[in-house]
């Protein structure tokens, strides 16, 4: 065999070996892939997010100072959940806790409901409301919710956060804590409206019998009496408002004053007004109703006193006349 032909033959052998090796490798790779596919078919495929999320809301989101308001806090299981063999697994939301903001009153009771109608219990302290499922059978499923309905009142204005927490254990505070998705629920507390009244006694006031006139009334926010608040009292007899006293309300929301200069008032109507200027928690108010102020009627002295003097004088004259008549009659008979 010539040298050139032998060389070509050897190269062809080498190429055939390479092709033979590549075919063998392909077979081995295919076998490995088939093996892995079978293994994966037996072993569950886990695509996990170790965090489990919940969201929380509250309604209503605003109220006023001192108003007993019914709130609803909703805690929702948002997932995402572990994917096991193509099925979503429950987040096992089994307990939650709501922190009552400082300044809000402790609820007397709570009504708890769930999206899957499971019986949950609650525990109230001065600072928290704990919600407990009692165990696995009552857990909240993915996208399920817990609702807590209760009543509470705020003592001051401001923006208050109702901090919520959730766990997959029972009771509240046990197991793995869920991660909050979104903001914590908040409530804005605004100033409350007020009403103030005023009255005077005696009314009408008779200047013929000088005495003390008592001006009194009360300051309220709805049905709540406001104690420790300052009230300004003024009168007007036609020449403008004149302040005659500043008083502080009692714990019952009442006030009174005896400083109205009644004996020096001119006869006629004397208008009296009570004003609360308001403070950081309560709106101001005035006793003026629909443009009308309270009216104290001041009577002139002669209306009563002069009449009495006239009557007394007439009576005295009558007595003198009668006496003279009797004496004359006696003399005549003698």
Say whether the peptide bond before residue 156 is cis (omega within 30 degrees of 0): no
Question: Band of the pLDDT at 85, cuts 50, 70, 90?
Answer: very low
**CATH number belonging to the domain at 195-302, selected among 3.40.50.300, 2.60.40.10, 3.30.9.10, 3.40.1790.10:** 2.60.40.10
Q: Please check whether residue 246 is in contact with residue 231, taking contact to mean a CB–CB distance below 8 angstroms.
A: yes
DSSP assignment letter at 2: -
Is the per-residue pLDDT at 144 higher than 50? Answer: yes
Half-sphere exposure of 129 (CA within 13 A, CB side): 30
At 212-257, the pLDDT tens digits run 999 999 999 999 999 999 999 999 999 999 999 999 999 999 999 9
Q: Report domain extents, the chain.
A: 3-43, 53-190, 195-302
Question: Band of the pLDDT at 35, cuts 50, 70, 90?
Answer: low
If one counts every other C-beta atom within 10 angstroms of the C-beta of residue 151, the result is 13
Architecture of domain 53-190: Sandwich (2.60)
If one counts every other C-beta atom within 10 angstroms of the C-beta of residue 258, the result is 11
Question: What local confidence, expressed as pLDDT, does residue 49 receive?
Answer: 44
For the entire predicted model, the pTM comes to 0.69
The answer to whether the 53-190 and 195-302 domains have the same CATH topology is yes
Q: Residue 71: which residues within 8 A CB-CB, separation 6 or more?
A: 58, 59, 60, 149, 150, 151, 152, 162, 187
Alpha-carbon distances of 189 from 108, 160, 198, 199, 215, rounded to whole Å = 20, 8, 29, 33, 34
Residue with more model confidence, 65 or 3:
65
At 275-300, the pLDDT tens digits run 999 999 999 999 998 889 999 999 99
Q: Please check whether residue 278 is in contact with residue 254, taking contact to mean a CB–CB distance below 8 angstroms.
A: no
Strands 294-299 and 205-206: parallel
At 102-139, the pLDDT tens digits run 999 999 999 999 999 999 999 999 999 999 999 888 99
């Amino acid at each position: 065999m010539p040298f050139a032909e032998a060389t070509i033959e050897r190269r062809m052998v080498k190429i055939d070996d390479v092709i033979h090796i590549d075919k063998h490798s392909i077979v081995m790779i295919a076998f490995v892939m088939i093996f892995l596919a079978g293994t994966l078919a037996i072993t569950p495929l886990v695509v996990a997010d170790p965090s489990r999320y919940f969201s929380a809301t509250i309604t209503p989101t605003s109220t006023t100072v001192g108003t007993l308001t019914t709130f609803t806090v909703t805690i929702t299981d948002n997932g995402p959940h572990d994917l096991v063999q193509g099925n979503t697994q429950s987040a096992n939301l089994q307990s939650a806790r709501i922190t009552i903001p400082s300044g809000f009153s402790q609820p007397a009771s709570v009504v708890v409901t769930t999206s899957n109608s499971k019986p949950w219990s609650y525990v109230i302290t001065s600072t928290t409301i704990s919600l407990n499922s009692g165990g696995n059978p009552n857990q909240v499923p993915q996208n399920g919710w817990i609702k807590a309905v209760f009543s509470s009142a705020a003592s001051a204005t401001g923006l208050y956060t109702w901090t919520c927490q959730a766990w997959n254990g029972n009771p509240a505070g046990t197991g793995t804590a869920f991660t909050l998705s979104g903001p914590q629920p908040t409530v804005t507390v605004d100033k409350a409206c007020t009403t103030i009244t005023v009255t005077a006694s005696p009314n009408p006031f008779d200047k013929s019998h000088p005495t003390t006139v008592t001006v009194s009334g009360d300051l309220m926010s709805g049905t709540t009496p406001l104690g420790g608040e300052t009230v300004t009292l003024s009168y007007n007899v036609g020449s403008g408002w004149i302040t005659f006293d500043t008083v502080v309300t009692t714990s019952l929301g009442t006030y009174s004053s005896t400083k109205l200069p009644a004996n020096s008032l001119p006869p006629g109507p004397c208008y009296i007004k009570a004003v609360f200027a308001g403070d950081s928690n309560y709106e101001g108010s005035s006793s003026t109703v629909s443009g009308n102020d309270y009216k104290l009627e001041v009577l002139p002295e002669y209306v009563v006193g002069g009449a009495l003097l006239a009557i007394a004088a007439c009576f005295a004259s009558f007595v003198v006349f009668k006496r003279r008549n009797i004496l004359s009659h006696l003399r005549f008979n003698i």
